[in-house]
Amino acid sequence: MGFAAYASFFLLFVLGVRLATLLLNLIRFHHWAALARRKRGKPPRVLFLASFFPGNAGFEQRVRSWCSILAQDGFDARWRHAIGGETFIKLLATGRTVEFQVRFALVRAWQCLEAVLSDAVIVERELLVYNDYGGVFLERFLLALNPRVALDFDDDIGAAKREPSKPSTFAKLMLANGRKFHDTLRTYPSFVAGSEYLASLVPPDRAAVVVVPTCIDVARCGRKEYSGHMDPVTFGWIGGIQNLKYLDIIVPALRAIARDRPCRLLVISGRPYECGGAIEVENRPWTYETETADLLSIDVGLMPLPQTLIARGKCGYKQLQYMASSLVGVASDVGMNREIVTDGTDGFLVRREEDWEEVLRHVLSRSGSFEDIGRSARRRVEAAYSFEAARERYTDFVARLVQRSGHEA
């Protein structure tokens, strides 16, 4: 499909969805749908609309895991994703963006209709990923079908998109305005935010906001056992390919340390990382099935970040993974990391990029305490950042979201 054909299709699609939204609002469709659901007399149904796919880390931690917990607590919890993992990656990797956007939009619009049968809907990150065309037209359609919807987000998506941005001429033609995330936060009535900082981005007139970090299934994590001399010491990093660039921050420090003692860098990701020599780098492909064992190959986990708005919005998941695995983790003192880590007790913080070498040398000097630091780190995650720690808070929020059905009816 060429760009002219795509533009014509998408604009007609947006127009059709907007007209349907107008009609649904005029007849107060959600009111009658809520009445019908009340007569159904079945367990409350919660629909998750996931941005990504099974096997993706975000999907597993913020969709599948909570679906399972809600099911244990008496909800009929279901999830839907728009495109399977293999196709999702293939379409983007081969530059077939138009095909990706068309398929995603059509499937997602169809999935929105399932909100009619649901007592509550939770949208993970965005309804349409990698597509700001049309603005929040699909979000408004979903809310016309069922206003008991919450947006679940664990990143400052607006900062990642550099909003407000100046859209191209083609993007303007496609009804993009360069502030979709800003508009999204003003469209949804309820939110699950991954941190207090992200919750602060929500407009103050939205009362239904709960802070739930990206939790860790501690029982699934292994336990690092530090014994004997680490020769070489293995520094490690785990994460998505879009964040590999942050490793450049610590390469000078690792090179300096490598001149004095044997060490290497283990990178667990979806694409190989190269730093130009001077330190051995081992790349392992990330999979949900192998990440537990791969993390235990690390001696010191690393989470370098710049001092930017994007970094402030991150929820410290890498650091939590290290800590839950009883690893010694070292993270930049930015965003949620400073809430997670008690510096020197259950991990270490680096305040400035130029301090990485000094901090890492200090960490290595405390190798005799690694076992104790690792145990403290795991206890910290169990107490504050595990699914069990957040379970009551999350399920209570969902229960309140479901209960709004009675007010509407």
Cα angle for residues 82, 85, 89 (degrees, 5° grid): 105
**Separation CA 358–CA 362 (nearest Å):** 6
- Determine how β-strand 348-350 pairs with β-strand 190-193: unpaired
What is residue 406's predicted lDDT score, i.e. its pLDDT?
Answer: 44
54-109 per-position pLDDT tens digit: 999 889 999 999 999 999 999 999 999 999 999 999 999 999 999 999 999 999 99
Token reading at 32? 């009658």
CA dist., res. 49 & res. 77, Å (int): 11
User: What are the helix and strand counts (H, E) for the chain?
Assistant: 19, 12
d(CA 313, CA 157): 8
What pLDDT does 41 receive? 72
* Pair 301, 319: CB distance under 8 Å: yes
Indicate the angle between helix axes 137-145 and 97-112, nearest 10 degrees: 20
Four-residue CA torsion sign, 116, 122, 127, 132: positive
DSSP of 200-226, one letter per residue? TTS-TT--EEEE----B-GGGS-----
Structure tokens at 208: 């239904």
Picking from 399, 331, 387, 330, the residue whose alpha carbon sits closest to that of residue 363 is 330
pLDDT for 277 equals: 77
The residue ranges of the chain whose pLDDT is under 70 are: 1, 405-409
- pLDDT tens, residue by residue, 6-39: 999 999 999 999 999 999 999 999 999 888 888 7
Instruction: Give the integer Cα–Cα distance in Å for 174 and 9.
Output: 11
For residue 397, the one-letter residue type is F
For 220-341, strand residue ranges (E) read 233-238, 263-269, 280-285, 300-303, 328-332
Residue 39: its pLDDT value, please?
Answer: 75
Give the position of tokens 């939110």: 191
So what's the pLDDT on residue 1?
64
The predicted pLDDT at position 47 comes to 98
Query: pTM of the entire structure?
Result: 0.92
Res 409: pLDDT = 43
What pLDDT score does 407 carry?
Answer: 44
pLDDT computed for residue 230 by the predictor? 85
What the chain holds in terms of domains, given with CATH numbers, is 3-215+387-408 (3.40.50.2000), 218-384 (3.40.50.2000)
Query: Using CA of residue 36, residue 42, residue 43, residue 45, what is the dihedral sign?
Result: negative
Amino acid at 139: E
Mean residue pLDDT of the chain comes to 94
Task: Calculate helix-pair angle for 137-145, 3-26, nearest 10 degrees.
Answer: 30
The stretches of 174-289 forming alpha helices (DSSP H) are: 180-185, 196-199, 251-258
Residue among 208, 185, 189, 187 nearest 198 (CA): 185
